[in-house]
Amino acid sequence: MKDRREYIIHKAMELYALRGYQNVSITDLQFALDMGRGTLYYYFKDQDELFQTCMEKFFFSEKQRALNAIPEDSGIDAMIEGFWKYFVSLQEALVSFDNRSINVSNFNDLMFTAHNKFPALHRRAQRLALKELELWRKAIYHDQRAGLIRRDIDREQIALMFTHIKNSYDAGLGNTEMDFSLLRKTYEELHKLIKI
């Protein structure tokens, strides 16, 4: 039974990524899943619940897991490595879809929808963003105390810069091929700028 639920989530996410949440009807989902409306409603009370479940699985749970795996006393190198694992999991999710034209831009559109239509998802994203920012602050502080990076930098501004790297990133720059290594390189370049 769990496998069928997972199949619904995966296929629905693919449809949402391709067309946008607002352009996918229950009938579209039924057709793509090859199942009746009653079966769909057995697993999810409505399309809103299905969408929120998709977003939780593909974004929020993965990011939460990544943040929880980074020890509070980590330095910048460990932060970059922790986020690299998160990006690898996102890339694996992207390539798991049958349609290869789905890219990070599609996911960004879904995040916009999630933030605007679902206040609970917006609050969840805010909590994760604050936790991420705090981890970057601590990592910078840790490396400053260890003498690994310059002491004259503004810790808050650098933490915000690290946080915003992925927020402004469009993997593949509009192409269907994702190159998350560019993202890692950007983290490493910023780190290099503040090293002693």
What digits encode the pLDDT tens for the residues 85-125?
988 888 888 788 888 778 777 888 888 999 999 999 999 99
Helix (H) or strand (E) holding 77: helix 76-95
Which residues constitute the domain of residue 171?
54-194
pLDDT band for position 127 (cuts 50, 70, 90) = very high
The mean pLDDT of 1-27, rounded to a whole number, is: 91
Position 47 in a domain: no
Q: Are 70 and 79 in contact (CB under 8 A)?
A: yes
DSSP category for residue 56: I
In 3D space, the residue among 100, 95, 99, 125 whose CA is nearest the CA of residue 113 turns out to be 125
Position 69 in a domain: yes
Q: What per-residue confidence (pLDDT) applies to 1?
A: 46
Phi, psi angle pair for 59, to nearest 5° = -125, -65
Q: What per-residue confidence (pLDDT) applies to 181?
A: 81
User: What's the pLDDT tens digit per position in 2-13?
Assistant: 699 999 999 999
Mean pLDDT of the chain: 89
Phi, psi angle pair for 65, to nearest 5° = -60, -45
Position 15 in a domain: no
Position 161 in a domain: yes
Position 23 in a domain: no
Position 18 in a domain: no
Q: How far is CA 176 from CA 39, 43, 87, 170, 179, in A?
A: 33, 32, 16, 11, 10
Tell me what percent of the residues of the chain surpass a pLDDT of 90.
72
**The model's pTM:** 0.86
Position 68 in a domain: yes
Rounded Cα distance between 157 and 190, Å, is: 12
Q: Count how many domains the chain has.
A: 1
Position 77 in a domain: yes
pLDDT band for position 176 (cuts 50, 70, 90) = very low
